[in-house]
Amino acid sequence: MKITGYRSLLTVHRWGRPVGDVNGVVRSGVTEVPVVLVETDGGLTGVGLGNHDAIDRVFPAIEGEDPRAVTALYDRMLSWVFKASHAGSTFATIGALDMALWDLKAKMAGEPLWRLLGARDRFVAGYASGLEYGLDDDELVDLYSRFADRGFNGAKVKGGLDLRRDVARLGAVREVLSRNSENPALMYDVNESWGRHQARRLLAQIEAQVDLTWIEEPVRRWDVEGHLALARSTSTALATGENLTGLEQFRPLVEAGAVDVVQTGSGWGLTHFMRVAAFAHAHDLPVSPVAYNCNPLVHAAAMVPNHLVTEVQDLSFPVGLTVDQSFEDGGIVLGDEPGLGIAVDEAAIAASTGTGSWATPAGPHVRPREAGLRLAMRRDPAAPRTVASVG
- Can you give the pTM of this predicted structure? 0.94
pLDDT single digits (tens) 306-343? 999 999 999 999 999 999 999 999 999 999 999 999 99
Burial group, residue 391, by CB count within 10 angstroms (0-12, 13-18, 19+): exposed
User: Does the pLDDT of residue 380 top 80, yes or no?
Assistant: no
Tell me if 3 sits within 8 A of 40, measured CB to CB: yes
pLDDT at residue 388 in the model: 39
Between 36-45, 95-104, 286-295, the lowest mean confidence (pLDDT) is in 286-295
Tell me if 299 sits within 8 A of 334, measured CB to CB: yes
Tell me if 219 sits within 8 A of 199, measured CB to CB: yes
CA-to-CA dists, residue 50 to 10, 35, 245, 323, angstroms: 10, 6, 15, 16
pLDDT tier, 379 (very low <50, low <70, confident <90, very high otherwise): low
Between 109-113, 135-139, 384-388, the lowest mean confidence (pLDDT) is in 384-388
User: ∠ at Cα 361 (96, 354), nearest 5°?
Assistant: 65
pLDDT tier, 155 (very low <50, low <70, confident <90, very high otherwise): very high
201 in helix, strand or coil?
helix
Average pLDDT, the chain: 94
Between 98-107, 193-202, 346-355, the lowest mean confidence (pLDDT) is in 346-355
pLDDT at residue 329 in the model: 97
Burial group, residue 322, by CB count within 10 angstroms (0-12, 13-18, 19+): middle
The C-alpha atoms of residue 372 and residue 353 are separated, in whole angstroms, by 38
Domains annotated for the chain, with CATH where assigned, are 3-111 (3.30.390.10), 115-351 (3.20.20.120)
